[in-house]
Amino acid sequence: MRSSQRHQLQNNYSLAPSPRRVPTSAGLRVLFGGTLNQVGWIAFGLGMIFVWMMFPIEDVIWHVAARDEVETTTGVVTASEATNTAENDVTVYVTSYTFSARDGVAHEDHSYATGRDYSVGTQVRIEYVRDRPSLSRIAGMRRSTFGLAASFVALFPIVGVCLLLPGLRKGLKANRLMRQGRPALAEFVERVKTNMSVNNRAVHKLTYKYTADDGVVYPIEVKTHEVEAFCNNDYKRVLYDPGNPACAVMLEDLSDGLQIDGAGNFQPVGALSLITVMFIPVLSVVGHGYFLYGSYLR
């Protein structure tokens, strides 16, 4: 049975000599495809929404800039009102004020604090960075809606990045081997159930082995919750680096929908297949990049 499977795959597994042509659409599908990669982008995109809403960015900027000399002066409250947020069930107030810096220019700004409501016209002590009067606050208050304790929200996008980075590294390696790799057939060795699960399905570690041109047998491992896609036969197609035969990828592990033409080159993937894996990464990068530019860099 195994020999017939191997013979059939060998007959159907012809690749063009390297370097091969890899269409951009196929390269992007491989780079951004994969469950872990997609989950990472979702966690990053959603996590950054909480960062923009709660992370005390303005206070971080203040503390960095305040390493330079901080000046104090007197300001006048122009407005004070409750926000629609609270900390520990205590309403957060925003207080607007005006003050004159050392340069003689009048500045307007606002500060936040929980449970602190000033009357209009009240004189308050203002702290500002001497060389950047636009960075100011009422003494004892903060520049962000939430205090530094809200910095924990940064953990959400960090987790997302920790998930998607391995996927991107794998995709970059795969793109390189699709162009430059040498083909081989890997034989199934063992299947081990892990403690991880995806969509309530257990993740299994599948181990295969292949023989490179140097005559050495190398292992290659795949972790997947879609075991049935790998258990249809005992042999799988791999591409390995001829300069480093231990570096390899399995074609079935790259992405579904990859096609190889009669000349042994990878074919472009369909628009829907590409959009499926590109939508969330593009939305995250463009959306959050636009917000960052409009709010802090412009």
Q: In what order do the strands lie in the sheet with 244-250?
A: 217-224, 201-211, 182-198, 235-241, 244-250
Q: What does the pLDDT read at residue 35?
A: 79
Alpha-carbon span 144 to 157, nearest angstrom:
20
Answer left, alpha or beta for residue 143, where phi above 0 means left and psi between -120 and 50 means alpha: alpha
Alpha-carbon span 107 to 101, nearest angstrom:
7
Quick one: pLDDT band at residue 6, thresholds 50, 70, 90?
low
Signed CA dihedral, 272, 273, 278, 280: sign only: positive
Q: pLDDT tens-digit profile of 92-150? A: 999 999 999 988 889 999 999 998 888 999 999 999 998 889 899 999 999 999 988 89
Q: At 148, which amino acid appears?
A: L
As a whole-number percent, the residues of the chain with pLDDT over 70 amount to 93
Signed CA dihedral, 256, 257, 263, 265: sign only: negative
The whole-number average pLDDT for the span 28-37 is 88
Q: At 161, which amino acid appears?
A: V
Q: What does the pLDDT read at residue 285?
A: 95
Residue 146: partners with Cβ closer than 8 Å, 6 or more residues away: 54, 55, 56, 85, 87, 92
At which residue do the structure tokens 């303005």 appear?
Answer: 58
Quick one: pLDDT band at residue 13, thresholds 50, 70, 90?
low
Cα→Cα distances 198→161, 169, 203, Å: 18, 21, 7
Q: What does the pLDDT read at residue 131?
A: 86
User: Which residues make beta-bridge pairs with 238?
Assistant: 184, 250
* Best CATH choice for the domain 56-145 from the list 3.40.50, 2.40.360, 2.40.50, 3.10.450: 2.40.50
Query: Exposure of 178 by Cβ count < 10 A (0-12 exposed, 13-18 middle, 19+ buried)?
Result: buried
Is 264 or 39 the better-scoring residue by pLDDT?
39
Quick one: pLDDT band at residue 2, thresholds 50, 70, 90?
low
Of 106, 141, 101, which is closest to residue 124 (Cα–Cα)?
A: 141
Q: What does the pLDDT read at residue 11?
A: 47
Task: Give the phi and the psi of residue 216 in degrees, each rounded to 5.
Answer: -90, 140
Boundaries of every domain in the chain = 2-28+167-289, 56-145
Q: pLDDT tens-digit profile of 197-243? A: 777 888 888 899 999 999 999 999 988 877 776 666 678 889 999 99
The whole-number average pLDDT for the span 165-172 is 91
Identify the H or E element spanning 284.
helix 271-292
Alpha-carbon span 195 to 197, nearest angstrom:
7
Of 211, 230, 235, 209, which is closest to residue 220 (Cα–Cα)?
A: 209
- Report the predicted TM-score, pTM, of the whole model to 2 decimal places: 0.79
Q: At 7, which amino acid appears?
A: H
Q: At 90, which amino acid appears?
A: V
Alpha-carbon span 225 to 196, nearest angstrom:
9
Alpha-carbon span 112 to 135, nearest angstrom:
14
Secondary structure tally for the chain: helices H, strands E:
7, 10
Average pLDDT, the chain: 88
Quick one: pLDDT band at residue 256, thresholds 50, 70, 90?
low
Of 181, 235, 236, which is closest to residue 213 (Cα–Cα)?
A: 181
